[in-house]
Amino acid sequence: MNDLEEGFLKAYDTLESAKILLETGFESGAVNRIYYAYFWAVRGLLSQKDIFVKSHTGTQTKFAETYIKTGIIPEKYGKYLGRLEDKRTLADYEAINDFTKEEVKEMISWTEDFLAFVKENIEKLL
């Protein structure tokens, strides 16, 4: 199994755990998992270009440079990643956060949309 496959398996597993957390009333935990699902998918893509980054900021930067700014991947997917990281930071580090189920479901849809886009366009992305 290559890094892309591993990244996407991890992304799908992590997204499923987010859905379970949401169903059981753990919105903040779900937000964390949603971000990481997206993150693992992005890292998997970057690995196919021999780009391996250690930090979250570096991952976002390289994703933008490699895929968003070049027009290979639509800009909305870069924005989703940035928004999800902001939400994850709130979920992980703020004592009180009021994520609604609807808000978390929207974040799940962003990630599902991204994963579907990559799956449909994988040949162009590599």
DSSP 8-state assignment for residue 72: S
CA 40 from chain centre, in angstroms, equals 6
pTM over 0.75: yes
pLDDT of residue 94: 84
pLDDT, tens only, 72-111: 999 999 999 999 999 999 999 987 778 999 999 999 999 9
Q: Whole-angstrom Cα distance, residue 42 to residue 36?
A: 10
Domains and CATH numbers, the chain: 3-125 (1.20.120.330)
